[in-house]
Amino acid sequence: MEGVIDSPDAEKRRPRRPGTITAVFLVALPLLLVVFLFRDIAADALLWPELKQQSPRSNASSPGSGKHDRLLGGLLSPDFDDEPAACRSRHESSRRWKPSPFPVSPYLVRKLRQYEANHRRCGPGTARYREAAAQLESGRNADEHGGCRYVVWLPIQGLGNRMLSLVSTFLYALLTGRVVLVHQPPGMEALFCEPFPGTSWLLPPDFPYKDGSRFWSGCKENYVTMLENNLVRYEDDVSGGNASTPLPAAYVYLHLENMKLRLQNHTFCDEDHRVLDRFNWILLRSDSYFAVALFLVPRYRDELNRMFPSKGSVFHHLGRYLFHPGNRPWGIIQRFFDGYLAGADDRLGVQVRIVPYQAVPFEVMFEQILRCTREHDLLPQVTDEPAAPAGVPTNGTAKVKKAVLVVSLKPEYYDKLHGMYYGNATATGEVVTVHQPSHDEDQHTEARAHNERALAEMYLLSYCDRVVTTGWSTFGYVAHALAGLRPWVLIPLDWSKMRADVACVRPESVEPCLHSPPSLVCRRQQDLDPVAHVPFLRHCEDVGAGLKLFD
């Protein structure tokens, strides 16, 4: 009856007509098709930003893995997962590196986690640190503060030298069970993120001995000076480092400066490290990659072999572990990379370092760069034809885009290289673009903004597919070692000819060079060339007397 509402039971008993079901299905079918057809498109739209970030061109994962290895094979602690905004580079930089050519030793991973736990136990702000600092100020070397021992790093020279020496100091801390504390001058503030979870590596501002001007190679606190003045003696070391006489001071200073002298005698001999182990506090200043010299000390050899089965991976792994650009320099890196380098099929970095006291004329150096890049097919020849627009194909095929990153304090190298490829077509049909992030003219290590740009350019070089670097340059060493790339090194000039006979060579190792190797005049030893006696050492291609680790 019209107007009467059926009860629920009546609805259940009423049979459904097939025509109604068919009509409903036909009406719903187009909507269902739309949902199914566009479901994947909608999902792709939501996932596309993430997929772009994980593309093979911009991640550090193995090919086809679909995601980058943010923890770098276990080097980085997962304990930083809860603070991505505090240090963006720690979470993002691995997307741009190529896969590491060096597997990470599980033993090295275990040593790093142990170190982090010890740093949290003994680092600044802890009761153990306060007790150890109080004993230092009182002039005592007693071991009454929970077994905490320290090595304090004091900076010297430019950013490249500082990063090399800081990695070396950290390796020394790993080998000796010490906590590394870093004196950060104003020019380095916020340059790097904290590398250890839950603690700080920065030297507290009230530390009494951070004024580097009071320490030099001949100061009374220097270990060699103490040894020469008979204030410490090898004979005082008895079975495992127990001393028969008290130490003359609560700390010892190690001076390992490369530019003014060879690394000092009595610094890399076994007996000296037994004496140094008696000091709870070591203050260290160096501008050198003295990590190489630690491999000459027999007492450290087994540990080093376990941490680094591949000797060519030392700076590559420890540099990636320690150094994470702060958010300001990381912003420079991201903006420049995404704006100028990300879209290239091939990226070539060219780093030019001209030292003021031995300045190579511009035309001489530029000719050497061109010889190097052309002899090794790093850059194509240019023709007399004008360059075609970037989007126009050549011979019916898409053009290869090559981006050249020029890193130099001077603008002339960029200007000339850019002019060549901007106005002329290439013999191969490649489109070559040339970019330079900055050109400060002179080095200003004391200026924070200058150091931020320098750090950004090191990392941009490390994101290139191939790199050309200048011999002797610690800046170049850092960049290619972080990348794990064997560079083409521009050989120093033969000044008698005003020309390098060989434009560039490619080293067998990605490791930095120790410019001034230590003397091996130890007790019961002669001053021998380590290369003749240590199978994993070679002389450097750019520094004849230098030493580098090699596989």
Q: Domains of the chain: which residue ranges?
A: 106-322, 345-513
What is the pLDDT averaged over residues 253-270? 69
What is the pLDDT averaged over residues 104-128? 97
Residue 81 has pLDDT above 90, yes or no: no
Q: How far apart are CA 132 and CA 121, in angstroms?
A: 12
Strands of 504-505's sheet in order across? 431-435, 401-408, 346-352, 466-470, 488-490, 504-505
What is the pLDDT averaged over residues 459-481? 97
Query: In the prediction, which pLDDT does 361 show?
Result: 95
For 257, the token pair is 């400066």
Nearest 5 degrees, angle CA 376-CA 426-CA 393?
125
Instruction: List all residues 6 or more positions away from 515 whose beta carbon is below 8 Å from its beta carbon.
Output: 258, 288, 472, 540, 543, 545, 546
- The residue with tokens 């010299």 is 293
Of the ranges 211-215, 484-488, 515-519, which is most confident?
484-488
Q: How far apart are CA 356 and CA 442, in angstroms?
A: 9
Please, which contacts does 355-362 make with residues 24 or more away whose CB atoms are closer than 8 Å?
355/472, 360/493, 361/498, 362/410, 362/412, 362/413
- Helix, strand or coil, per DSSP, at residue 307: helix
What is the pLDDT averaged over residues 86-99? 92
Query: In the prediction, which pLDDT does 6 show?
Result: 36
Q: Please, which residues bridge with residue 286 across strands?
A: 256
Q: How far apart are CA 463 and CA 98, in angstroms?
A: 7
Query: In the prediction, which pLDDT does 175 show?
Result: 98
pLDDT band at 532 (very low <50, low <70, confident <90, very high): confident
Query: In the prediction, which pLDDT does 209 show?
Result: 87
Residue 57: how many other CB atoms lie within 10 Å: 14
Of the ranges 254-258, 430-434, 514-518, which is most confident?
430-434
pLDDT band at 170 (very low <50, low <70, confident <90, very high): very high
β 237-238/242-243 pair status = antiparallel
Nearest 5 degrees, angle CA 17-CA 21-CA 23?
110
Residue 230 has pLDDT above 80, yes or no: yes
Q: How far apart are CA 434 and CA 348, in angstroms?
A: 9
Query: In the prediction, which pLDDT does 74 show?
Result: 94
Of 285 and 13, which is predicted with more confidence?
A: 285
Out of 320-329, 417-426, 525-534, which region has the weakest mean confidence (pLDDT)?
525-534
Query: In the prediction, which pLDDT does 266 show?
Result: 59
Query: In the prediction, which pLDDT does 533 show?
Result: 83
CA distances from 473 to 159, 259, 351, 355, 479 (A): 11, 13, 9, 9, 10
Evaluate whether 226 touches 248 at the Cβ level (below 8 Å).
yes
pTM of the model: 0.85
CA distances from 117 to 178, 198, 323 (A): 12, 9, 19
* Residue type present at position 254: L
Q: Please, which residues bridge with residue 255 across strands?
A: 285
